[in-house]
Amino acid sequence: MKIVADAGLVEVQELFTEFGELELISGRDIDAAAIKDADALLIRSVTTVTAELLNGSSIKFVGTATSGTDHIDVESLHSRGIALADARGSNANAVVDYCFAGIGYGVTNRGIDIKQSRVGIVGHGCVGSLLAQKLNAMGVETCLCDPPLQEVAGPQSTDKYSTLDVIAQCQIVSLHVPLSKNTSHQTLDLIDAEFLRSLRAGTLLINTCRGSVVNEIALLQVLGERPDLCCVVDVWENEPVPRSDLVMAVDFATPHIAGYSLEAKRAATRQLLDQFCQHFDITAAHTGGTAESNRVAFVAAECRSGDVWEAILEMFPLKRISEEFKTSVAAGNSQQAFDELRKKLVARRELRSYQMSGIKWKGGQRLVGNALGIESV
């Protein structure tokens, strides 16, 4: 058996070598010639799988170490009888950590009182539901919007789900929907000028799902009209070369790294391994290590005040990442910044991996630390 895999997949060599020939290629360089005689293809979001890529190949299995599959022509796979596997949910905790870093910025720099705020969550799947769960554990009120799930649940779900109009009145809005086009619940340009203009004063908007869910022209225009809005954006319409004017206009801009963590990347590759073995009816001799169980020591003195939100922003240096990305985009090096920053952040640890010492929790901040899995000693 021959397997072609993105060289950036964590633990791919350790987990898949035993099954035959494993060829590692940079994800952006995977082409039709590279997979012509391969049986399986393992990718990330930087590789687009089209009918043209698959033509003439012997591919029987495509695994993507991502939750979304909008970079894959799913119909072409189905028509060829090619199995598709994804890693849905593997990076949910990492993305939620990113959201809390964004919220931390709102709390520490924008005067948001999280205890008095409602958080509007658009999309109640793996990430959205986990975000809601952790916020609720902190005593924070959440407001959910997910029309497809509401439709499935029926009339009895009207108390659980709200409309976008209601979401617009929340102090914080976080987006977690898949990108869908030409469907009854299309999310392309879901967040348009009308919605953005209806946001309450000082709203914090976080987008970690897909760039095209937000109409970028409208966002740029409304930000020019409303400097009170705060935007944390991780995803872009034309990755890896986003609009430079929009990158500069938002408060924090990052190169699609919300789901990048050591834990998430390992979990994604292992999920692909499970589905690969199931498809080919084989048993893996090796299922990966357990290094992510080791705690990372964090001394409260490393942050300015011992405040839990300040500590979160030290553990997840959102400001530094954004500054580095913006500098590269301004210099015309967007694609290079995407690739290099992502490589750096593969070793990022999730908040639940940290063990804090010397912290004096303020008020309800213990609830924050506990909900995020941060251990205090």
Active-site hit among 44, 124, 210, 348: 210
Q: What is the pLDDT of residue 305?
A: 57
Q: What is the pLDDT of residue 293?
A: 57
Q: Is residue 137 part of a domain?
A: yes
Q: Is residue 264 part of a domain?
A: no
In the predicted model, is pLDDT for residue 303 greater than 80? no
pLDDT-above-90 percentage for the chain: 79
What does the alpha-carbon distance between residue 46 and residue 50 come to, in Å, rounded to a whole number? 13
239 is catalytic: yes
Residues 76 and 131 in one domain: no
Q: What is the pLDDT of residue 343?
A: 85
Q: Specify the number of domains making up the chain.
A: 2
256 is catalytic: yes
Please report where in the chains the tokens 């952040």 appear, as a residue: 345
Q: What is the pLDDT of residue 179?
A: 93
Q: Is residue 255 part of a domain?
A: yes
Average pLDDT rounded to a whole number, residues 345-366: 82
The structure tokens listed for 362 are: 């303020």
Residues 81 and 26 in one domain: yes
Q: Is residue 96 part of a domain?
A: yes
In the predicted model, is pLDDT for residue 298 greater than 90? no
pLDDT tens figures, 245-258: 999 999 999 999 99
Q: What is the pLDDT of residue 299?
A: 62
270 is catalytic: no
Q: What is the pLDDT of residue 21?
A: 97
Reported confidence tier of residue 16, pLDDT bands at 50, 70, 90: very high
* Residue-averaged pLDDT of the chain: 92
Boundary of a domain, candidates 68, 86, 104: 86
In the predicted model, is pLDDT for residue 290 greater than 70? no
Q: For residue 97, what is the domain's CATH number?
A: 3.40.50.720
Residues 203 and 230 in one domain: yes
Q: Which residues share a beta bridge with 33? A: none
pLDDT tens figures, 41-80: 999 999 999 999 999 999 999 999 998 898 999 999 999 9
pLDDT tens figures, 201-213: 999 999 999 999 9
Global pTM reads 0.90
Residues 179 and 254 in one domain: yes
Q: What is the pLDDT of residue 201?
A: 96
Q: Is residue 284 part of a domain?
A: no
Active-site hit among 256, 266, 270, 342: 256
pLDDT-above-70 percentage for the chain: 94
Q: What is the pLDDT of residue 288?
A: 62
Residues 184 and 326 in one domain: yes
Q: Is residue 267 part of a domain?
A: no
In the predicted model, is pLDDT for residue 302 greater than 60? no
Q: Is the peptide bond between 240 and the residue preceding it cis, with omega within 30 degrees of 0?
A: yes
Q: What is the pLDDT of residue 196?
A: 98
pLDDT tens figures, 176-225: 999 999 889 999 999 999 999 999 999 999 999 999 999 999 999 999 99
Q: Say if residue 97 is exposed, middle or buried (CB neighbours under 10 Å; 0-12, 13-18, 19+).
A: buried
Higher pLDDT, 114 or 302: 114
Q: What are phi and psi of 84, to 5 degrees?
A: -120, 130
Average pLDDT rounded to a whole number, residues 6-17: 95
Q: What is the pLDDT of residue 376?
A: 77
Contact 129, 174 (CB under 8 A): no
Give the DSSP letter string of 229-261.
-EEEE---TTTTS--HHHHHHSSEE-SS-TT--
CB atoms closer than 10 angstroms to residue 19:
19
Boundary of a domain, candidates 69, 86, 103: 86
In terms of residue numbers, what domain contains 74?
2-86
Average pLDDT rounded to a whole number, residues 308-336: 93
pLDDT tens figures, 272-283: 999 999 999 999
Distance of CA 341 to the CA centre of its chain: 15
Q: What is the pLDDT of residue 224?
A: 97
Active-site hit among 88, 185, 239, 295: 239
What does the alpha-carbon distance between residue 361 and residue 376 come to, in Å, rounded to a whole number? 10
Q: Is residue 315 part of a domain?
A: yes
Residues 158 and 203 in one domain: yes
What does the alpha-carbon distance between residue 121 and residue 172 come to, in Å, rounded to a whole number? 8
Residues 61 and 180 in one domain: no
Residues 12 and 46 in one domain: yes
Residues 33 and 131 in one domain: no
Boundary of a domain, candidates 53, 86, 119: 86
Residues 6 and 126 in one domain: no
Residues 72 and 100 in one domain: no
Residues 46 and 122 in one domain: no
Sequence-distant (6+) residues with CB within 8 A of 111 are 202
